[in-house]
Amino acid sequence: MEAKEIKSIVSNLEKSSDDVMILKLLNILSDGVKPTEKLLRETKVGVAVNKYRSSTNSEISSIVKKMIRNWRDMVQAEKNKKKGPTSDVKAATSGSSTPSKENKFHSGPRNPKIDGISTDIYDDSTRNASISALYTALAIERGDSSQQILSVAKSIEAEVFKDEYSKVADGYRNKLRTFVMNLRNKKNPELRDRILSGQITPGKFVKMSPNEMAPETLKKEIEKLHKQNLFDAQGATEKRAVTDRFTCGKCKHKKVSYYQMQTRSADEPLTTFCTCENCGNRWKFS
């Protein structure tokens, strides 16, 4: 399967919300993608697929884990073939401090100790522990290089430290705790991806509220509940009038109760809230 075709499938996958279609697209990718490091980097198919690793649909999460494991092994085999046994020996004995590039996918947990990374950056043990916690949270289900994750973790901690007047106190600890908890949320891979890919800078991240950091699915649920509660509250407090001027789009009856409110700026028209007295269907218009 060529890169152009893979990108097209990835695009459709990102737009899909139906489990049946998602599973179908994942199976196409599983059967058709012959991964190389270059192909995965060019198409970003690994990032797109990895987002479904923690899906509540067991069939989807199962095929994703299998794909990632297989792709990781195939890419590693390709790298070993290019490197050759002489390079392996040289890399193992050279003592060079230059970090090697990690595989794109990791099947197990990651933390600084497992990745062989030191977070003893400062004399302050609390700051070092904060960087370690951020590293572990950012690395969940990620295949980015250790140095990239460490760099982002250090930058986030430094921004918090600076915001708290360069001191470790309750404000510092509380902020770090909040950020780590949000980053550790397995249902929020988008947040980790946006930060590690540079879409959200550390400076912007530390200014975000918990609601802004929440998973997209949760944001939509909260917005839906907010709108429903607003509708209910307005309906309970406003005097309704019944008219036959409106037709219910659901049952076509004309017995409709309504009320009007100013929900936007004063120079905008009133919003009319309607309820069908026959079937209970509700709608609004301006």
For 113-142, the pLDDT digits (tens) are 988 999 999 999 999 999 999 999 999 988
Average pLDDT, the chain: 82
End-to-end C-alpha distance for the chain, whole angstroms: 50
Dig out the tokens for 40 from the structure.
């995965």
Distance CA 275, CA 278 (A): 9
CA-nearest of 105, 111, 122, 120 to 146 is 111
**Which domains occur in the chain, in start order?**
3-93 (1.20.930), 112-214 (no CATH), 226-285 (2.20.25.10)
pLDDT tens, residue by residue, 190-205: 899 989 989 999 999 9
Q: Are 137 and 152 in contact (CB under 8 A)?
A: no
The pTM for the full model equals 0.49
What is 6-27 written as a DSSP string? HHHHHHHHHH---HHHHHHHHH
The backbone torsions φ and ψ at residue 77, rounded to the nearest 5 degrees and listed phi first, read -65, -40
> 68, 140, 141, 149: which is closest to 116 by C-alpha?
149
Q: Would you say 255 and 278 are in contact if contact means Cβ atoms under 8 Å apart?
A: yes
Please say if the pLDDT value at position 1 is more than 90. no
Q: How many CB atoms lie within 10 A of CB 186?
A: 11
